[in-house]
Structures are given as structure tokens and as C-alpha cells.
Amino acid sequence: MSEEKVVAVIMVGGPTKGTRFRPLSFNTPKPLIPLAGQPMIHHPISACKKISNLAQIFLIGFYEEREFALYVSSISNELKIPVRYLKEDKPHGSAGALYYFRDRIMEEKPSHVFLLNCDVCCSFPLQGILDAHRRYGGIGTMLVIKVSAEAASQFGELIADPDTKELLHYTEKPETFVSDLINCGVYVFTSDIFNAIEEVYSQIRDTSSNYQSATRSVPADFVRLDQDILSPLAGKKQLYTYENKDFWEQIKTPGKSLKCSALYLSQFRETSPHILASGDGTNRKPNIIGDVYIHPSVKLHPTAKIGPNVSISANVRVGPGVRLISCIILDDVEIKENAVVINSIIGWKSSIGRWSRVQASGDYNDRLGITILGNFIFFFFVQQIFRCFFLINLFLQVRL
């Protein structure tokens, strides 16, 4: 058992996704946007590293390979584990993508395959899921968590046997309440999952086009893990559940990313306290309050007051008297003296002027709950383009 190899697959999506992350995702793929000082995708990758006998990690998506090349090379060297990016020619669905790259995923002949969604924030108890899965003996085991009845309808709801933990019923975003137990988007499967996906493809091919249009709202080569695999296999002693007792969030909006950054910073206090910044109780260093990450290259004035829930990326300059609370500050930002930033994400190369105040309500579920400044260079060029259109229009009006 100890010699069995394991691989992990992380779904990263593509440029047609993540529109709710604009303007941050205009120039940077959503999975590479930092949370708690590390790219979003770094957190599940780091969790995978802790799995016994992990052979490889695959990232599957339809971003251009060049957008992930530098990160993949860096994280492979850092973790001493091969990390490979596999680019889809088009979206195939989470199960379809797994099947599309089945030969590469299985080239090491792993006994188990982990499947994770990149936009999930949790403590990732992957070894616990794997150990439970081996006891259950089914095709797959999924991470689940209890939420409020009001929140459950936004996710896949399920019913599990309280004793055996078998998945008895699964439905994706039901219109009526089914259960307060939801799917966390983290799974482990045996290689039999590929046979289950192949059966779905066979059913699609064998079914008339009229029947397909009546029962499926997606292309024939698009296989969904939830509706096409989990729902049909529920109640057949094939799928089981592992309940998460720790934190969990889905990172769908920048507001949620700010909340998840706080969750990861809090986790660091238990798992990696050396990552967090601290003051020395003197006037030589800034006043640090609560959980704060500060990149080593950051220049902080000793009169600044930082925290709680603050993440500051590389080459940031923070002036005297600055106050930062619940915010993410990205690379190459300058925050000038006596500025205040609260409940905000400050994009790359931005500049916050003297005595400025950047603040929002802090409601992570509200569209306007946080303030976002995007990439300064991107918006500079947009501004210049609009200025050109304005001047051209003005010139034409004068000519007329």
C-alpha cells in the first residue's frame, strides 16, 4: 500500500471564466492572483505536496501555456515535484478534461487520482480523504461540508448515509432545498473513474440527437463531473463522502478572495507561523496587528500600522503614518504618507496619494463590498485610447 503512487489534477479554467474577477484578471490569470502572499493555485498545490507517494501534479485549463510557464517551472523546483500544465483545445468539462488527458495522467500508473478545483479555499485534508477512501473501497470519495440552508442552494447538495458515508443522492444547485451538506469540489478517485466517464461518452454517442437536446444543455463532448458522473453513481455503493470540519469557501469574486486571504493567513498562524510578519515592540519596525504577510522586498516606514488581515506583495513602498486593514496590496504599489486602505485590493503598480482614503464596507458577499484598483498600466492605456477617441470626435465635430 505504501508504494502506490498518487497524482493530483487541479482544474484552473480559462480566460472565458473569471469575468467576475475583473479588473484584476485582465492581465493576470485568476489562478495566479495572490492570496495571503501566494498565487491562488499555490495553496492547493502545497496541500498536494503533503500527500504520501505523490508522483506528479497536473494543472488543466485553456489558458495559453506561456501564462503558466514561469510559475510551473518555479513551483516544480521549489517543491521538488513535477508540475505540468496541460492545455485543453477547448473546454471539455471537469470530467471530460480528466478523460481527455487520461493517458498523461495515468503514465505513472497511479493507484489514485486527486481532482481539485482551483477556486476552492480550505485546509485541504487530502491525506485524510485518501485514508478514508481506502477504507470505503469505492470508485471515489468527495469532500463535503455543512452550510446554512440559505447558502446550500448555490452549490451541489447531497445526502450521505450517516454511518457508512456512502453518497446516496446528489443534485447540482437544486431549486428546492435538499440538504445542508454540499460538495466542496475536492475528490479522490481510483482509475475506474475513467471507465465511468467512458460509459457517459458511449451513452451520448448511442443516443439520438433529439434526446440529447432534450436532456443535455451542453455539447456532446462536454462531460460534467457533477450532473453526468456524481448524480448517476449516487446510491450505487460507488461514491463516498468525507466531511470537512474546517473552513471552506469558493473563490468566485474579489470579495471572497479577500476573505480567503484572511483564512489562509489565520491558518499560517497554526501551520507556518514563520511566514507571518511581526513587530519588535520598538519604533524601529511598523506596528503589526493580527495576521499579516509582508514580502521581504517591501519597504515599510516604521510609523506605519499594518493589520489585521493584510497581505503585501513584492516591491511595495509604504510611507509614514499609513494605515492598512483587511487588504491585499499587489506588486510595485506605492502608498504615500498618512494614506488609509481598508477592505480593498490595490492592483499592480498603483499609487495611493498622500492623505488618501481607500475604503469599502467589507461585506464579502456584496458586489461593492470591497474596493479594487486594477493594473495601473492597463488602465493608463485604456485611458489614452478613450482620450484619442474623444480628440478624434472633437476634431470631426469642428470640421463639420
**Per-residue pLDDT at 24:** 78
Average pLDDT over residues 156-169: 95
**Per-residue pLDDT at 398:** 47
Looking at the fold, whether 259 and 275 belong to one and the same domain comes out as yes
Q: How far apart are CA 46 and CA 40, in angstroms?
A: 11
Average pLDDT, the chain: 87
Task: Provide the residue range defining the domain that includes 292.
Answer: 255-379
**Per-residue pLDDT at 383:** 43
DSSP letters spanning 363-386? -TTSTTSSEEE--HHHHHHHHHHH
Q: Per-residue pLDDT for 184 more than 50?
A: yes
Looking at the fold, whether 287 and 222 belong to one and the same domain comes out as no
Looking at the fold, whether 34 and 64 belong to one and the same domain comes out as yes
DSSP letters spanning 129-182? HHHHHHHH-SSEEEEEEE--HHHHTTSEEEEE-TTT-BEEEEEES-SS---SEE
Q: Is the peptide bond before 308 cis (omega within 30 degrees of 0)?
A: yes
Q: Per-residue pLDDT for 67 more than 80?
A: yes
**Per-residue pLDDT at 386:** 44
Looking at the fold, whether 261 and 244 belong to one and the same domain comes out as no
**Per-residue pLDDT at 19:** 67
Q: Per-residue pLDDT for 53 more than 90?
A: yes
**Per-residue pLDDT at 366:** 72
The CATH number covering residue 155 comes to 3.90.550.10
Q: Per-residue pLDDT for 210 more than 50?
A: no
Average pLDDT over residues 335-356: 94
Looking at the fold, whether 95 and 216 belong to one and the same domain comes out as yes
Q: Is the peptide bond before 23 cis (omega within 30 degrees of 0)?
A: yes
Q: Quick check: is 398 in a domain?
A: no
Looking at the fold, whether 242 and 300 belong to one and the same domain comes out as no
CB proximity list for 263: less than 8 A, separation 6 or greater: 121, 247, 249
Task: Tell me whether strands 140-146 and 156-160 are parallel, antiparallel or unpaired.
Answer: unpaired
Average pLDDT over residues 351-366: 88
> 313-345: per-residue pLDDT in tens?
999 999 999 999 999 999 999 999 999 999 999
Looking at the fold, whether 194 and 266 belong to one and the same domain comes out as no
Domain final position from 204, 224, 252? 252
Q: Are 208 and 142 in contact (CB under 8 A)?
A: no
Looking at the fold, whether 247 and 269 belong to one and the same domain comes out as no
What is the number of domains present in the chain?
2
Looking at the fold, whether 115 and 167 belong to one and the same domain comes out as yes
**Per-residue pLDDT at 209:** 53
Looking at the fold, whether 155 and 262 belong to one and the same domain comes out as no
Q: Per-residue pLDDT for 152 more than 80?
A: yes
Looking at the fold, whether 238 and 339 belong to one and the same domain comes out as no
Interior/surface letters 284-298, b for 16+ CB within 10 angstroms, e for the rest: eebebebbbbbbeeb
Q: Per-residue pLDDT for 292 more than 50?
A: yes
**Per-residue pLDDT at 265:** 96
Q: Are 156 and 230 in contact (CB under 8 A)?
A: yes
**Per-residue pLDDT at 168:** 96
Q: Quick check: is 64 in a domain?
A: yes
More confident: 39 or 16: 39
Highest mean pLDDT among 67-76, 248-257, 311-320, 378-387: 311-320
Average pLDDT over residues 288-293: 96
**Per-residue pLDDT at 17:** 55
Looking at the fold, whether 226 and 266 belong to one and the same domain comes out as no
Q: Quick check: is 388 in a domain?
A: no
Q: Quick check: is 366 in a domain?
A: yes
